[in-house]
Amino acid sequence: MLRRVVGVWPESKSFSDEGFGPIPKRWRGICQTGNNFKCNRKLIGARYFYKGYEATVGEKLNVSMLSARDYEGHGSHTLSTAGGSVVPGASAFGFGNGTASGGSPKARVAAYKVCWDARCYDADVFAAFEAAISDGVDVISMSLGSDHPSEFSESVISVGSFHAVAHGITMVASAGNSGPAPGSVSNNEPWTLTVGASTMDRDFFSYVVLGNNKIFKGASLSESGLPSNKKYPLISGAEAQTNSASSSNAPYCLNNTLDAGKVKGKILVCLRGINGRVGKGVVAASLGAVGMILTNDQQTGNEIISDPHVLPATHVDYESGRYIYSYINSTKSPMAYISRVKTELGMKPAPVMASFSSRGPNLLDQGILKPDITAPGVNIIAAYSEATVLTESKQPITPYKMLSGTSMSCPHVAGVVGLLKVLHPNWSPAAIKSAIITSATTKDNSGRRIRASAQNESTPFDLGGGHIQPNHAADPGLVYDLNTTDYLNYLCGRGYNSSQLKLFYSRPYTCPKSFSLADFNYPTITIPRIKYGHSVNVSRTVTNVGSPSLYRVYIEAPPRVAVWVEPTKLKFEKKGEKKEFRVSFTLKSKTDNTTDFVYGSLTWTDNKHRVRSPIVVNFNNL
């Protein structure tokens, strides 16, 4: 049983209950009807929470909106990605035709709507957490977070998610879409499984052909196309600026910044940023443009996204954009043509980290690595809202749509968690989290390390343990386990007093006399500070969840750091057996650091399983 937080379109085929038996007796939830909303044996629960919104905004919601129905698509998309039924013949505007399926297609699902007019308020979020716990869900998928995460005791997401994990519910959350800026990751709680976003080996492309016959590959989902082999005049947003508009806004093709007389009948070139990618095309079409080329800035680099533009359009990378702008500025009568969209499969390299995916380090606690994992989050086809209000925003109604974001990668992981709950019903949330992190891959389909961009290899701050591998997570060999007491001790280590701890745990709790983050049994290892001449020692405990076996350790030491592990072998006689090991870190030399962080890994292997933990050492505090 999985849940989402911004509503659902219950009539979608992805939530059909065909083939489902009676609702499990252990389900304690309800279906709040309203606006012709009905649940079934697949979509077994739906609630909506709005009192926080009304109290904060100071106005009543329109009665016609009071239901768990999804009016903007995000909730339906994410819930169907996590647990949608198998639906043959799904596509996004005819592209990517195939069978749609959630990660746990046989799961029962429930929706908890807390966001209204794109705003989500603390009281509503917290009420949804408590309801989901009471209803008896097994997994929470939360594509929601803050751009500026606050201390755990001041965050309803932190407190609510702790309550969920304390009740045995695995908490999966999106890392955020504020990348690639360092330290932008959100949902940093150690009890939460935090998910970044990466690409797949499928994409949708169209091509730009300039008047000088230079060709550039772009990404698009435009249904319409230009007549074959006919080139059109080309103009940039900067050139099309109105007399009253700001020169800093016109290149982005913002509304009311461009002159229709200059744009009409031409292909408009717009710079990515400020307003939405599809919104730029809406502006271009309203001014009479025949097409649009969307170009990246230096920060977004090589990441191009296929969007359902309202006119013939394509999205090109930074270097292609630079050439196109140079061509416009150096040519008396620049011309261009945009081809129709084609689907391409088996692309290499893949996956690549999405530039928008929020990055570490974890600014709340640099001793806890975030994000934890990455999963597909670019050009994901899933169920969508068919509400007529979407047509008012120039969006065509479609039962399935392609979206990108860590909101899309999060439910991929939640779906895998659902499968693991079936395979291993007695595993704790921490065991499930460990299995997913330590079984992940850092290699792409060309055999190289996954890239953070075209120029740079990824680090653990980009992808955590790596890209999720569901089949490997089902049989990880060893897990790093934690329980509620461990998490309370972690909060004690942050200096929490008894009144703060009561927010997280209803019963009185006495903190231990001492707590060392170095011994917190997290499945990754981060050294927040290290000094020359002093060793940093950490300990970990692994639990055997496989057959009796002998594991040996393999160390990929971070540059300039010596790493020792004791013992180097762990022999397990039975399932459930626990073994402790210690790791010592020492700087090899006292030299000026040329980088803030260095990276390595620690892997236990019995030749069948590879239990890999990334290592991060912070040189900032030398």
227: Cβ–Cβ under 8 A, 6 or more apart, which residues? none
Per-10-residue mean pLDDT of the chain, 622 residues long, equals: 72 98 97 90 97 92 89 94 98 93 98 90 96 98 90 97 98 96 96 97 95 96 88 97 94 96 98 93 96 93 88 96 97 96 94 95 97 96 84 70 95 98 98 98 98 90 98 98 98 95 95 92 96 92 98 97 98 98 92 81 98 93 55
CB contact at 8 A, 384 and 76: yes
How far apart are alpha carbons 620 and 369 in whole angstroms?
16
Q: Given its phi and psi angles, is residue 89 left (phi above 0), alpha (psi -120 to 50 degrees) or beta? A: left
Q: Which residues face 524 on adjacent strands?
A: none
Q: What is the pLDDT of residue 392?
A: 45
Q: What is the pLDDT of residue 119?
A: 86
Residue 90 parent element (H or E) = strand 87-92
Q: Which domains does the chain have, with CATH numbers?
A: 2-195+351-466 (3.40.50.200), 203-344 (3.50.30.30), 478-482+521-618 (2.60.40.2310)
131: Cβ–Cβ under 8 A, 6 or more apart, which residues? 29, 47, 49, 112
How far apart are alpha carbons 455 and 195 in whole angstroms?
23
Q: What is the pLDDT of residue 593?
A: 64
Neighbour-count burial for 142-157, b at 16+ CB within 10 Å, e otherwise: bbbbeeebeebbebbb
CB contact at 8 A, 416 and 239: no
CB contact at 8 A, 582 and 492: no
C-alpha separations of 347 from 178, 200, 208, 209, 280 in Å: 26, 8, 19, 22, 28
Q: What is the pLDDT of residue 389?
A: 61
Encoding tokens for residue 283?
């502006």
CB contact at 8 A, 371 and 196: yes
Side-chain half-sphere of 162: how many Cα atoms within 13 Å?
A: 24
How far apart are alpha carbons 140 and 128 in whole angstroms?
11
Q: What is the pLDDT of residue 5?
A: 58
Q: What is the pLDDT of residue 594?
A: 66
Q: What is the pLDDT of residue 90?
A: 97
Please count the other Cβ atoms lying within 10 Å of the Cβ belonging to residue 8: 30
